[in-house]
Amino acid sequence: MSNRLHQYTVLIVDDAPENIMILSHLLMPDYTVRAAVSGEKALEIIFSDDPPDLILLDIVMPKINGYEVCKRLKAAGETVSEIPVIFLSGMTETDDKVKAFEAGGVDYITKPFALKEVQARIETHLKISSQKRELEKQKQQIEDSYKQLRELELLRDNLTHMIVHDMRTPLMGISGNLELLSFQEESNISARAAKHINHARESTRELIEMISALLDVSRMEAGEMILNISRCDLIDIMRRIVDTFEGLLGKRYISYDIPVESVEVNCDPHVISRVIQNLLYNAIKVTPEANFIRIGVSATDDVVRVSVTDNGPGIPAEYHEKIFDKFCQIECREHKQKYSTGLGLTFCKMAVEAHRGHIGIESEVGKGSMFWFELPSS
């Protein structure tokens, strides 16, 4: 035991020299032992540059008793307050023991004590103290690592934000020129060339939407995106969005599940339009041609619900929560397809929650998916 425990220092505090001699003789083969015959001397050693690892503390001493020594120790803060204190006392009343624990002691041994019991309890509390220090050390290492990761993540996000912000301008230029080329040269280019131009327009549109989503998510995370709330008709917003998506539908069809002509809600029309656009665009990407995409809007006294249902491959249940995570990419292994959500659905989730709403998915592999969101009616 000596080799393993001699690194520890035990402070014996007792105004009876014979008790100190007995305990020192018991402990010196295994520990570095220091002694104090008064509370004042004990505090001097405790608050020195070389404090003990454990204290054996008598209660009845002149001037400063054991209770007071322990209270001052525990009130000191920092590492000193973590030193375990074992009271050694001839007082056997329950109230005395309770008072010792209230002062901050970890154990209480009554005199006359059994030497083997004292040894066992010292070793036990030193092990506990060592384990606590190791846990604190590991906790601090984890906190430091987490802080470093957060700093790296912030640096990465700032760099990404700067890059994509600079990318947006030339992409908008490409998109505008493709639109102009398609409009002005429609009669002068072949059907094959027109098809390539349309593919380029679609890809450019997707890149611009990805960049917009990334910038918006970054602003939302930083709390810098301000909503411009007004009373809006969701049916009107929905129909205008579908009109702009007509060129992307190909041979797919839109069906409506809208029981009323108008559904009003308080929202930022631009942000909610972006949410619907993302959901509809995702539905178009996964729905085969000659199939329907169903759009639904319904209202109760409390909430307004919007849903977009596709005829795609469906998404396994274990991914229904992850799909809204940043940069989530889901592989539907059964169909050997990848459902890549990028930041679109992350933006949707943050935008809906910023409106005090909820978003979710209902999906089954092989049976398509329904993405929905709900906003408060008022």
Q: What is the pLDDT along the chain (378 residues), one digit of tens a residue?
A: 444 555 899 999 999 999 999 999 989 888 999 999 999 999 999 999 899 999 999 999 988 999 999 999 998 877 788 999 999 888 888 998 999 999 999 999 988 888 888 999 999 999 998 898 899 889 989 998 988 888 887 776 777 667 776 777 788 888 888 888 877 777 788 888 888 888 888 888 778 877 777 777 777 777 777 889 999 999 999 999 998 888 788 899 999 998 777 899 999 999 999 999 999 989 998 999 999 999 999 998 899 999 999 999 999 988 888 888 876 655 544 445 555 556 788 889 999 999 999 999 999 999 999 999 999 988
Q: Which two tokens stand for residue 250?
A: 């190909």
CA distance 188 to 210: 32
CA distance 295 to 255: 6
- Mean residue pLDDT across the chain: 86
Question: Which residue intervals of 81-190 are DSSP H helices?
Answer: 94-103, 115-184
CA distance 297 to 264: 11
What is 230-376's CATH number? Answer: 3.30.565.10
Q: What is the DSSP letter of 336?
A: T
- The radius of gyration of the chain from alpha carbons, rounded to an integer in Å, stands at 36
Cα 310 to chain centroid distance, Å, stands at 31
CA distance 349 to 333: 25
Q: Which fold has domain 2-113?
A: Rossmann fold (3.40.50)
For the chain, which residues make up each domain, given as ranges?
2-113, 141-221, 230-376
Intra-chain end-to-end CA distance of the chain, in Å = 73
pTM of structure:
0.53
Unique residue bearing structure tokens 């559904």: 263
Q: What is the DSSP letter of 47?
A: T
Task: Give me the phi and psi of 150, to 5 degrees please.
Answer: -65, -40
Other beta carbons within 10 Å of 166: 10
At the second CATH level, the architecture of 141-221 is Orthogonal Bundle (1.10)
Q: SS3 of 157, please? A: helix
The two counts, helices (H) then strands (E), for the chain are 11, 14
Q: SS3 of 131, please? A: helix
CA distance 342 to 133: 43
CA distance 262 to 236: 7
234 membership: H or E segment, kind and range: helix 234-244
CA distance 228 to 152: 33
Q: SS3 of 141, please? A: helix
Q: Which two tokens stand for residue 58?
A: 């008598």
Cα–Cα distance list, 323 to 13, 128, 298, 316, 330 (Å): 63, 44, 24, 10, 7
Looking at the chain, how many residues does it have? 378
pLDDT at 335: 45
Q: Which two tokens stand for residue 29?
A: 């083969």
CA distance 67 to 73: 10
DSSP line for 1-35: -HHHHTT-EEEEE-S-HHHHHHHHHHHTTTSEEEE
Which residues, other chains included, contact 362 with Cβ-Cβ below 8 Å and sequence gap of 6+?
369, 370, 372
